[in-house]
Chain A
Amino acid sequence: DSGVTQTPKHLITATGQRVTLRCSPRSGDLSVYWYQQSLDQGLQFLIQYYNGEERAKGNILERFSAQQFPDLHSELNLSSLELGDSALYFCASRGRGATPYSNQPQHFGDGTRLSIL
């Protein structure tokens, strides 16, 4: 058990819809990362938050957004869903370090499997 909790585990919805994925980091971790994993693209970094503020952006679509709340949990919002958005979405948190970009390892949750019909 990594200590990172993601809900829901599975989500099935239709094209054009909007969903929210939730992540609770390990106790004490300030950084939260979101990744998308599909068969042909590997592990794609989407976005990072540190203590409530956005710190780094990767290949995140404009239809996607995220936020980190004062209690440090994070939500990833996916809107106007397309078939190609079907994937496994991971959240990871990282241990407290001197900077938002320090080198502690990331701890991944079990992921949310999103299926678009």
Chain B
Amino acid sequence: GQQVMQIPQYQHVQEGEDFTTYCNSSTTLSNIQWYKQRPGGHPVFLIQLVKSGEVKKQKRLTFQFGEAKKNSSLHITATQTTDVGTYFCAGRRGSGYALNFGKGTSLLVTP
């Protein structure tokens, strides 16, 4: 079945450093969604990417969808302690398929 892989599993950065997490699928995706889960919380939707090569920005967060629609990335510029949490990508193969979540990247930011 469809596999969505995320790397790295964990990342520890100093506040102010940049952070990137990568998401790769074994199959072409129709769309990809990103979620953030704070420690002790539930996943919260951040953004959805649909088009090949699409780039979207939310303040310090930049999301990209690969040209082949098989990979995606989330880049955070100048991390802050409020960025701490686990970032999940979730991809859908197409109509009729469920959303598949990656295992997430846990980000720790130390001041």
Interface of A: prevailing SS: strand
> Do the beta carbons of A111 and B104 come within 8 Å of each other?
no
B98 contacts A48, C-beta separation under 8 Å: yes
Q: Which of A10-18, A37-45, A75-83 contacts B (4 or more CB under 8 A)?
A: A37-45
Number of CB contacts from chain A to chain B under 8 A: 56
Interface size class of A (residues with CB under 8 A): 20 to 34
State the CA gap A101–B95 with chains docked (Å).
6
Query: Does B100 make an interface contact (CB < 8 A)?
Result: yes
Among A1-26, those with CB < 8 Å from B are 2
Q: How far is the CB of A108 from chain B (nearest CB, A)?
A: 4
Contacts of A43 in B (CB 8 A): 43, 88, 101, 103-104
Give CA–CA (A79, B109) in the complex, Å: 40
Complex-state Cα separation, A76 to B33, whole angstroms: 25
Give which listed residue, A41, A58, A90, contacts B43 with CB less than 8 A. A90
Are the C-beta atoms of B95 and A42 separated by less than 8 Å? no
The CA of A106 and the CA of B103, in the complex, are separated in Å by 17
Question: Are A103 and B92 in contact, CB atoms less than 8 angstroms apart?
Answer: yes
Whether A2 pairs with B102 at a CB distance below 8 angstroms is no
Within 8 A of A (CB), among B82-105: 88, 92, 95-104
| Nearest A-chain residue to B94, judged by Cβ | A101
Within 8 A of B (CB), among A41-57: 41-45, 48, 55-56
Asked whether A70 is an interface residue with its Cβ less than 8 Å from the other chain, the reply is: no
Say if the beta carbon of A85 comes within 8 Å of chain B: no
* Interface presence of B48 (CB below 8 A): yes
When the two chains form their complex, are residues B45 and A105 in contact, meaning their CB atoms are under 8 A apart?
yes
Residues in A whose Cβ lies below 8 Å from that of B92: 101, 103
18 additional A-B residue pairs with CB within 8 Å, beyond A42-B102, A105-B33, A108-B43 = A41-B103, A42-B103, A43-B88, A43-B103, A44-B101, A45-B101, A48-B98, A56-B97, A58-B98, A92-B43, A99-B95, A101-B92, A103-B50, A105-B45, A106-B45, A109-B42, A110-B41, A111-B42
Closest 4 A/B residue pairs (Cβ): A42-B103, A105-B45, A56-B98, A108-B42
